[in-house]
Amino acid sequence: MGRTRLDFLRMAMRIFVVNCGSSSIKYQLFDMADESVLAKGLLERIGTTTAMLHHSTNGRRGKGQIDLQIAAPNHTAGMAVILKALTDRDIGVLDSIDDIDGVGHRVVHGGEETTASSRIDEKLIALIRRNIDLAPLHNPPNLAGIEAAMATIHHAAHVAVFDTAFLSTLPPMAYRYAVPNEWHTKYHVRRYGFHGTSHRCVTLRAAELLGKPADKVNLITCHLGNGCSMTAVAGGKAVDHSMGMTPLEGLVMGTRCGDIDPAIVLRMIAVGMSPAEVDTALNKAGGLLGLSELSNDMRDLLSAADAGDANARLAVDVFVYRVAKYIGAYFTILPSLDAVVFTGGIGENSTPVRQAVCHYLARLGAIMDETRNSQAVGGQTGPITADGCKLPVWVIPTNEELMIARDTAAIVGPVSH
């Protein structure tokens, strides 16, 4: 197929994707001509004099990996170190920072006001700031990353891609809680949902793989990683989702409890814990870790369970049971179901967890193909059920960074260098 003028303009486009946590910056630099990754890395322990940069390149000067200990008192200093690595004479993949055409920022919470990915300006920064109350752990470092990148990469367009955006189509029936109305109107208490970029990514890919138009596909997408969430997708749009006003609700996660009776919180405060202690316990000491008293990592729990550890077995069973229960609920509310999709570290790799979930789905028409299930690991895409069965189950690796890069490239538009 011949290239169009737009393809040639697009060939030159380099998009830098940034995902900032409170003490970390994860990044990838894409060449949008073929969507390849020129460089990627992780800077950890920002705020210390012993920050670690793990940076790998795959550019025209060859492949390379560096691990560097540096002082990074804040995100701005951290960003400077990363940009230096990208333009380094020996390991760099860019001649100059000016070669970056657009910067895509992952932003966790857009609140009720935003829907789509948008170019960052003063108004959008104010919006992200307004929603700090709803995501106190995430929006401040996202803003720090935006400010650090905008201060250095002046010439390029900066774009915010919101984790909540794909879930903004939930109807009130799904996003409202049965609490006093004023909690919603005055305090914005409602379901927002998270991991939206991942659910959007696998929804689009599933539509392609199933040969359906993106606005006709009906799915249940299960993002099972250290954080876990599930989305019911009707006609390509999210109609329900398991995470809530915060990422604590829903499935059992690495260290988060997922659904519990809210009265448990009051009970634990009544027996002497402070609200902060309960908060920490539910977010950091619950989930797989809390149940197993061993680990938040599914791999550890599966081997311990196989070796006879009863707590590890229970943790895996509760995890699987909750996933199956949510699939049952979403099956009921969807008009029809084309496929269940597994993604995330556990969803993409854990043959036993998928097998156990699919065991529950047999009555919905999922017939597992054990060979396919054991082969769908390490980034493979494919069905794990038998051809022709009523409910196909797929493994589709997620790629949130690529989604952010595509959104950013679309907003930047054609470039001409």
Q: Which residues are catalytic?
A: 163
Please list the residues that pair with 25 across neighbouring strands.
20, 43
Pairing verdict, β 36-44 and 48-59: antiparallel
Q: Which stretch binds ligand AMP (CB under 6 A): 85-93, 202-210, 343-351, 403-411?
A: 343-351
Q: How far apart are CA 231 and CA 222, in angstroms?
A: 7
Phi-psi region of 268 (alpha: psi -120 to 50; beta: other; left: phi over 0): alpha
Nearer to ligand AMP, 154 or 299 (CB): 299
Nearer to ligand AMP, 169 or 399 (CB): 399
- Using an 8 Å Cβ cutoff, are 258 and 320 in contact? no
Q: Which stretch binds ligand AMP (CB under 6 A): 59-67, 104-112, 244-252, 346-354?
A: 346-354
The least CB distance from residue 1 to ligand AMP, in Å, is 35
The least CB distance from residue 369 to ligand AMP, in Å, is 19
Q: How far apart are CA 405 and CA 410, in angstroms?
A: 9
| Residue 78 binding ligand AMP, by CB under 6 A | no
Nearer to ligand AMP, 254 or 286 (CB): 254
Q: How far apart are CA 103 and CA 106, in angstroms?
A: 10
The least CB distance from residue 249 to ligand AMP, in Å, is 17
DSSP 324-343: HHHHHHHHHHSS--SEEEEE
Nearer to ligand AMP, 77 or 356 (CB): 356
For ligand AMP, the binding residue among 157, 201, 320, 346 (CB under 6 A) is 346
Binding marks (x or -) toward ligand AMP, 297..336, rule CB under 6 A?
xxx-------------------------------------
Residue 181, token pair as written in the block: 């109305």
How many residues touch ligand AMP under the rule CB under 6 A: the total is 11
For ligand AMP, the binding residue among 110, 145, 258, 345 (CB under 6 A) is 345
Nearer to ligand AMP, 289 or 337 (CB): 289
Q: Which stretch binds ligand AMP (CB under 6 A): 36-44, 314-322, 345-353, 400-408?
A: 345-353
DSSP 88-144: -TTT-S-S-GGG--EEEEEES--TTT--S-EE--HHHHHHHHHGGGT-TTTHHHHHH
The least CB distance from residue 225 to ligand AMP, in Å, is 2
| Residue 396 binding ligand AMP, by CB under 6 A | no
Q: How far apart are CA 256 and CA 137, in angstroms?
A: 15
Phi first, then psi, for residue 121 (nearest 5°) are -135, -175
- Sign of the Cα torsion 355, 359, 365, 368 reads positive
The least CB distance from residue 196 to ligand AMP, in Å, is 15
| Residue 247 binding ligand AMP, by CB under 6 A | no
- Tell me which residues in 188-227 interact with ligand AMP (CB under 6 A): 225-226
Nearer to ligand AMP, 37 or 298 (CB): 298
CB count, 10 Å around CB of 198? 24
Residue 127, token pair as written in the block: 């919006």
Nearer to ligand AMP, 158 or 199 (CB): 199
Diameter of the chain by CA atoms?
A: 71
Binding marks (x or -) toward ligand AMP, 270..299, rule CB under 6 A?
---------------------------xxx
For ligand AMP, the binding residue among 142, 218, 246, 349 (CB under 6 A) is 349
Nearer to ligand AMP, 225 or 383 (CB): 225
* Helix (H), strand (E) counts: the chain: 16, 14
Count how many residues are written for the chain: 417
- Using an 8 Å Cβ cutoff, are 16 and 401 in contact? no
- Using an 8 Å Cβ cutoff, are 13 and 102 in contact? yes
The site for ligand AMP (CB under 6 A) is made up of: 225-226, 254, 297-299, 344-346, 349-350
